[in-house]
Structure 1
Amino acid sequence: MNITLYVEQHLTYREALKIAYDKAKREGTLDEITEASCQVEFNRPPPAAIYHESDMISRYGETENGGFYFKAWNLREVYEQARINGRVSYAESLNGRISEAVDEIKDTLKASGMEFSEQDLKFSINEKGEFKPVPLPGKSSEVTESLFTKLLNEKESLRYMALEYARMVASVIDVTLEGRSAPYALYFSPEQTD
């Protein structure tokens, strides 16, 4: 296929391919082979499954006569992996920015002379982008909002970052190999629902 395809987070592979196809057709750069390949994709039913990173790891194997074969990614798999990579990269960036902003607030609180234990300065971010205190192990029902998390929630720019962070992490933790154990998912802790 000879077509320029741009990865957009909000577009599926088929939507992005349609945009690229229409543009190439308008500009007169669409060759017969590419057009036929695109038509095959447009006529194919949409995939029934969500792509998962573990499904897209290149695999190889050995044949009976000692040769090797490799699983090559098709254009759809490359596109989906690029979308996942983009979201992971953004989540990592937000994680770092949140850590820096939180460290500044911690330093300000410590400089004020108030006494805080390390437990008082721990937090998590729920799926709504709210900062919540981290409960002691085995005492999850005894959590009350701390001064620290109250200050974090009052800072508008930090709340916006936390909401973006929660959205990005939630969009990738179920489709990546690392899942919730990824370093960028450190703060993410969705609330339990019954």
Structure 2
Amino acid sequence: MLLTESAPFIKQYIEDLNNSLEQYKPGAGLTFTQKAWLSFCLTGILMVNAVCWAKFERASLGNYKLAALSWMFRKGKISWDNLLVGSVRRILKKYGITNGVIVFDESDRARSKNTKRIYKAHKQKHKASGGYVNGQTVVLLLLVTDSITVPIGFKFYMPDPVVSAWKKEEERSVVSG
């Protein structure tokens, strides 16, 4: 499969998303370059069934370079929070969803032993082995309705070091006292 042009329904989605962004926050719309990049990435995800810059580059026969794609993701001035809000608002409006329940879902993700460069990585209890690993805790905010469940936000959780130190000290005083 060749990744040369975005599918028409993806182009329409990007335009609808941009309109939703403009309604939500005037001036927060996407630039032409951001629209093209986002459209390309969504088409790439659909075609190669992955989020991988190298696969996107190969599928486009080198028309889009890996470095440029990843640069746009890392350095482009895209407001990801606004993009998520605009996308959720578009979905809710399109399907006429007016009520639901908001729930939290958290999951621990084990990472490598050397986690100095991994965002919000911390020591976690590894349930399978009973030991400890370095990992991340991802907290999802979900809107659950009668018809669909939509992610509406996420954050990485990390325990407060002051509270962790206090708990250690409390445990030490209970054991010795």
After TM superposition, the score normalised by the length of structure 2 is 0.25
* Greater RCO, 1 or 2 (C-alpha within 8 Å, sep 6+): 1
Higher-Rg structure is 1
Q: Higher strand share goes to which structure?
A: 2
Q: Higher helix share goes to which structure?
A: 1
